[in-house]
Chains A and B, each alone.
Chain A
Amino acid sequence: MSKPRIAFFDFASCEGCQLEAINFVEEFLVLLGHVDIVQFREAITEAEWDIDVSFVEGSITREQDIPRLEEIRENSKVVIALGACACTGGVNAIKNTRPLEDVRADVYGDKKDWFPTFPTRPIDQVIKVDGYIYGCPIDRNDFLKNVQLILQGKKTLRHNDPVCVECRLKENECLLTLGKPCMGPITRGGCGAIDPTFGHPCTGCRGLVDDPNENAAMDVLAENGLTVEDIKSYMTIFNAFRPEDIQ
Chain B
Amino acid sequence: MRKNIDIHVHHVTRVEGHGDVLLNVKDGRVEHVALNIVEAPRFFEGMLRGRAHYEVREIVSRICGICACGHALASVRASEAALGIEPSEQVVDLRKIVLAGENLSSHFLHIFFLVAPDLFGVKSVLPLATTHRDIVVRALKLKKLGNDVSDVIVGRHVHPITMDIKGFTVLPSVSALRDVQKKIIEMLPEVVDTVDLIASVAGGIPDFERETEYISLGPVSGSTEYPFYDGVIKSSEGMTYYPAEYRKVTNEFIVPDSTAKHCKHLRDSYMVGALARFNNNSDLLHPEAKKAAEKLGMIAPVHNPYMITLAQLIETIHIMHDTVEIIDKIIRRGIKEEDYSYQPRAGTGSSAVEVPRGILFHHYTYDSKGRIEYADCVIPTTQNLENIDQDFRKLAPTILDKSEEEISLLLQMLVRAYDPCISCSTHQLNVRFK
Contact = CB atoms under 8 A, between A and B. Distances in A.
Contacts of A37: 126
A90 interface: yes
Nearest to B155: A198
A233 interface: yes
A237 B169 contact: no
B59 interface: yes
A109 to B, nearest CB: 8
A198 B62 contact: no
Contacts of B330: none
A214 interface: no
Nearest to B11: A41
A23 interface: yes
B159 A25 contact: no
Contact of B137 (A20, A25, A194): A25
A16 interface: yes
Contacts of B52: 230, 233-234
Interface stretch (A73-81, A111-119, A141-149): A111-119
A163 interface: no
**Which among A46, A111, A197 has the highest number of chain B CB atoms within 10 Å?**
A46
B110 to A, nearest CB: 11
Interface in B237-261: 254, 256, 259
Contacts of B66: 15-16, 19
A85 to B, nearest CB: 9
Interface in B332-364: none
> Considering residues A32, A94, A137, which has the most beta carbons from chain B within 10 angstroms of its beta carbon?
A94
B155 A137 contact: no
A20 B254 CA distance: 33
Interface residues of B, number: 60
Interface stretch (A98-106, A121-129, A153-161): A98-106
B430 interface: yes
B45 A91 contact: no
Contacts of B117: 45
Contacts of A107: 41, 43, 45, 428, 430-431
B144 A95 contact: no
A213 B395 CA distance: 61
A199 B169 contact: yes
Contacts of B46: 94-98, 103
A104 B41 CA distance: 10
A237 B59 contact: yes
A114 B37 CA distance: 13
B302 interface: no
A46 B55 contact: no
A136 interface: yes
A199 B340 CA distance: 13
Contacts of A199: 162, 169-170
5 contacts: A20-B158, A25-B140, A29-B137, A43-B14, A137-B156
Nearest 10 pairs of A and B residues by beta carbon? A16-B65, A44-B124, A199-B169, A95-B46, A45-B123, A198-B155, A12-B40, A25-B140, A94-B47, A16-B158
Given A44-B125, A107-B41, 20 more contacts: A14-B158, A23-B158, A25-B143, A41-B11, A42-B13, A44-B123, A45-B117, A45-B124, A91-B47, A92-B42, A94-B47, A96-B46, A106-B430, A109-B254, A114-B256, A137-B65, A194-B155, A200-B162, A200-B169, A233-B55
